[in-house]
Amino acid sequence: MGGRLFGAAAPATPEDDMTTSLRDDGGHADDGAAPLPDDDAPLGAAPEPLALDAPGAAEGADPGDVFAAMVDEAASAAAGALILRPRADLFMDAELRSMHSRAVAYLRAGAPVHFRGPAGAGKTTLALHVAAWLGRPVSMVTGDSRMTSADLLGREVGETTTRLHDRYVSRVVKTASATRVAWSDSALTEAMTRGWTLIYDEFTRAPAEANNALLSALEERVLILSNPASGRRYVRAHPEFRAILTSNPEEYAGVSAAPDALFDRMVTFDLSWGDHAAERGIVASRTGLAEEDADVVVRLVRAVRESGARAGAASPASLRTAILLGRIMAALGVRAQARDERFAQICLDVLEARAPRGADGAGRAAHAEALRAAIRDACRARRPANPFAPAPDAIVTEPAA
């Protein structure tokens, strides 16, 4: 059910009702393009080199930049905090809409929510979207191996010294000075104090010791501050404080095992890569590709993913890979045509890194040839566009005012 996310190439209209249909209208300047060539034909030479100013190149905001599209810049500047707004054109299938609605409901009831899944499944996008529906300012932090508890709680940021010179009696000078340590709250303390929503992305990439503060924060809603520079011994959570966490499975490199006591304190949703139709819709909406081009891209990436799993690829070809491929195609005005060497070269550049671990020169050459065969197969099996496809059902959960 994972990765069935999000974004669109054009602003939503009122009748879109929180979703978008799959349409053949994105990312192409020439709506009257000639019929696609025979995809069974051999891969040919590029008619022109790749160029950033190629016809059909995308202009303006990137439709795949979900974070930037959600940020309300004016409200954020006025509030001095990150303010997110739900997007009316984010793609979701029925399974993900259900997960979204349940997550919002659990958070409003006060329960922390945790999205877990493979890289590229859409965990962070879902966390941002859910946080936007809560309608509170957001405090966001991303875990890494160098994190300490200070990155969640706060730290000393310098000293403030006050000096007093008393010359009330002209021949007598009294001097006094006082120095205090300046303190700055970090993401968790700030969210708890102000009633914001905490998004802790990839929290299992931080050492377990750095996350110990989460135990009392999520259960007792109290944060113990042992550093006297903070000026407080503890912080009680604001009634509106909520927490959303994301993580990769434990088998991923660089991921630390989270204690069971932490998992007991939150509702965990497991995401996975979606089915073909869901991934096609996401790629089309996130990149602006026409649906039939997105279909080829997804078909190709899924074939590479499945073959890589059997052969022990260095890294999986995920939905994120398909979105990357689609964004490059849309920006350069390249269609998914087997005989177009530009399309083939983009696919090779994006996907060749997924060769099996330890492959030598001959192995990589064989992998490249297999990719070219997969490109031809994906183009041959392309799905025709359906301009009459209905929009998915609307999300039933109401965003916060």
Reported as a single tens digit per residue, the pLDDT across 21-59 is 323 333 333 443 434 444 444 444 444 444 444 333 333
- 35-49, 86-100, 317-331: range with highest mean pLDDT: 317-331
CA distance 317 to 201: 21
Give percent above pLDDT 70 in the chain.
66
Could you tell me whether strands 234-236 and 174-185 are parallel, antiparallel, or unpaired per DSSP bridges? unpaired
Compute how many other C-beta atoms are within 10 angstroms of the C-beta atom of residue 9. 21
Mean of the pLDDT values across residues 61-75? Answer: 74
Which of 3.90.1150.10, 3.30.70.20, 1.10.510.10, 3.40.50.300 would CATH assign to domain 94-155+183-270? 3.40.50.300
Domain limits, CATH 3.40.50.300, in the chain = 94-155+183-270
CA distance 387 to 234: 58
CA distance 256 to 390: 43
The residue with greater pLDDT, 264 or 392, is 264
**Residue 21: exposure state from Cβ atoms within 10 A (0-12, 13-18, ≥19):** middle
DSSP code per residue over 138-203: EEEEE--TT--THHHHEEEEEEEEEEEEE-SSTT--EEEEEEEEEEEE-HHHHHHHHTPEEEEETG
Give the containing element (helix H, strand E) for 390.
none
Query: Comparing C-alpha atoms, which of 138, 128, 134 is closest to residue 82?
Result: 138
Residue 29 has which token pair?
A: 């300047």
Query: Comparing C-alpha atoms, which of 211, 252, 263 is closest to residue 121?
Result: 252
* Whole-number average pLDDT of the chain: 76
Q: Which pLDDT band holds residue 365 (cuts at 50, 70, 90)?
A: confident
CA distance 126 to 113: 11
Mean of the pLDDT values across residues 319-343? Answer: 92
The residue with greater pLDDT, 158 or 270, is 270
pTM: 0.68
Mean of the pLDDT values across residues 356-370? Answer: 73
Mean of the pLDDT values across residues 78-93? Answer: 84
Reported as a single tens digit per residue, the pLDDT across 150-209 is 888 887 666 666 666 666 666 666 666 665 666 678 899 999 999 999 999 999 999 888
